[in-house]
Amino acid sequence: MPIQGKGPDLKGAINLSPSNFDAKKAGEVYKKSCKIRQAEIPAFDSVGTFKNELPAPMCGYSVNPSKRFTLDRRDMERGIQLEATEHPDFDLADIMTQFGFGPVIGFRKARGGRVNQNWIVQTGDAQVVVRCVARERSLNDLRFEHAFINDLSRSGLTYRFPIPLISTSGESVIVKNGIHIWVYEYIEGLTRVSSTRGSIGLIATAMASIHEAAQHLTIPHSKITPLVIEDPWLLGTMRSWQLQLQGSADERIRFFCDHVQECISILEGLDCARYRMLPRIPIHGDWCMANVVFAADELIGIIDFDHCCLDTAIRDITALLQYECVDARAPFKLDISAAQFFIRCYNRVSPLSHEEVTLIPAVAIAESADAFWWKMYEITNNQGGTITLSRIEDLFRTLCWFSSNEQEITSALCEP
């Protein structure tokens, strides 16, 4: 369920006065650094045959898969079946040659991926992922991502990461048809659809271990994608969209217009100064079941660092809680018991401060508000054909629930 991209450059690019407001331009500028989720690794057996089977859930704790609406702009929309009939818009053999590999034996497009495309390629001597990066991402974004991954791989952690391979020209990124492309070794294993108590604990341990390691990393590039609680540009954008969209016949847009002012009021009530004081580290930015790789009951790898940036540990934590720790009966609510378990497992490795934990609801509110607006962009730009009114309503319910239950959530998560 899952949005970033609200930096100073955006404020300069969008005129927020209603008479001059260009919704499409605003959305395109925003889209340049937004978070749109994707999956990238399908099942692949030892002889190169692609499998569609998913592992059976572990016993003891399960989460309703319908939870995936929570940050719906970042909804992954992942299909289970592989897209075996598609072909890339470039010569895979040429790319393999550029990275020093032999002839291509077979390939498949990885499932999902609404922005980036990923091709799993089998050669005579390797299985690799060819990752085609969204045009909206800058080369600086890629440099930050690669530096972060490379530093983590040298930090002594036991997890596997999508380490960028170096081409014969000495570069980790090449350009084909105007698209940035990079390659990493395929990580053998499986991703899972739904979380269990065991998997939640493993993810908490992995995340805390990576956050601990990240505190000691010095990355020579910067990538900052502030939340609305730090940069209030989204408030003005929401007000302008409310004016522009008034009178729409679309019930989804009408719901947005009827409730956006309440959303703005909630955002204005958040304590932004406290969040600004928290320490910044490189974070993954997209923790969920689809981005961790398992072998049997062991978490062996973390993938999809597309949305990594410099931010707080609780931003990673909040994303995971909103993805994987939601109430099975009312998915716009947090499953308090599951969230408590995650925090306890995390704290065993890297204890959170009281201040950090108390700000988790504010981060959840900010992310939900962001998603609420982004759905309007998709709908008004003919990208919202599958977006239902109930999905828009659920985003708003999530925002309101975290706001109304902030003290209860904070008290529960702060329990030892």
Note the pLDDT of residue 79: 34
Note the pLDDT of residue 64: 31
Can you tell me the distance from the alpha carbon of 11 to that of 14, in angstroms, rounded to the nearest whole number? 6
User: 150 lies in a domain?
Assistant: yes
Q: Is residue 255's pLDDT more than 80?
A: yes
Name the residue among 168, 183, 198 with its Cα closest to residue 289.
Answer: 198
Residues 28 and 58 in one domain: no
Residues 225 and 327 in one domain: yes
Note the pLDDT of residue 114: 56
User: 177 lies in a domain?
Assistant: yes
Residues 231 and 149 in one domain: no
Residues 205 and 257 in one domain: yes
Residues 179 and 230 in one domain: no
Residues 27 and 137 in one domain: no
pLDDT in tens, 73-117: 233 333 333 344 678 888 999 999 999 999 999 999 987 655 578
Residues 305 and 404 in one domain: yes
pLDDT in tens, 226-252: 888 888 888 989 999 999 999 999 999
Q: Give the pLDDT band of residue 408 (cuts 50, 70, 90).
A: very high
Q: Could you give phi then psi for residue 13, rounded to 5 degrees?
A: -95, -15
pLDDT in tens, 316-354: 999 999 999 999 999 899 999 999 999 999 999 999 999
* Residue where a domain terminates, one of 123, 154, 185: 185
Note the pLDDT of residue 27: 45
Note the pLDDT of residue 112: 61
User: 90 lies in a domain?
Assistant: yes
pLDDT in tens, 11-59: 333 333 333 434 444 444 444 334 333 333 233 333 333 233 323 333 2
Is 0.85 surpassed by the pTM of this model? no
CATH of the domain at 104: 3.30.200.20
C-alpha dihedral over 379, 385, 388, 391, to 10 degrees? -60
Task: Give the chain's mean pLDDT.
Answer: 81
* Residue where a domain terminates, one of 123, 150, 185: 185
* Residue where a domain terminates, one of 185, 213, 232: 185
Give the residue with greater pLDDT, 253 vs 45: 253
C-alpha dihedral over 386, 389, 393, 395, to 10 degrees? 10
Residues 219 and 156 in one domain: no
Q: Is residue 60's pLDDT more than 60?
A: no
Residues 352 and 278 in one domain: yes
b/e code 233-244 from CB counts within 10 Å (16+ = b): bbbbbbbbbbeb
Q: Which long-range contacts (CB under 8 A, 24 or more apart) does 249-257 make?
A: 250/379, 251/389, 252/375, 252/379, 252/384, 252/387, 252/388, 252/389, 252/392, 253/376, 253/379, 253/380, 255/389, 255/392, 255/393, 255/396, 256/372, 256/373, 256/375, 256/376, 256/392
Q: Could you give phi then psi for residue 148, rounded to 5 degrees?
A: -65, -50
Report the number of distinct structural domains present in the chain: 2
Residues 13 and 57 in one domain: no
**Residues 35, 74 contacting (CB under 8 angstroms):** yes
Can you tell me the distance from the alpha carbon of 41 to that of 309, in angstroms, rounded to the nearest whole number? 22
Average pLDDT over residues 6-10: 33
Residues 257 and 405 in one domain: yes
Residues 217 and 272 in one domain: yes
Of the chain, the percentage scoring pLDDT greater than 70 comes to 78
What is the domain extent for residue 175? Answer: 43-68+77-185
Average pLDDT over residues 377-404: 90
Can you tell me the distance from the alpha carbon of 98 to that of 344, in angstroms, rounded to the nearest whole number? 46
User: 299 lies in a domain?
Assistant: yes
* Angle at CA of residue 392, ends 391 and 395, nearest 5°: 90
pLDDT in tens, 142-153: 999 999 999 999
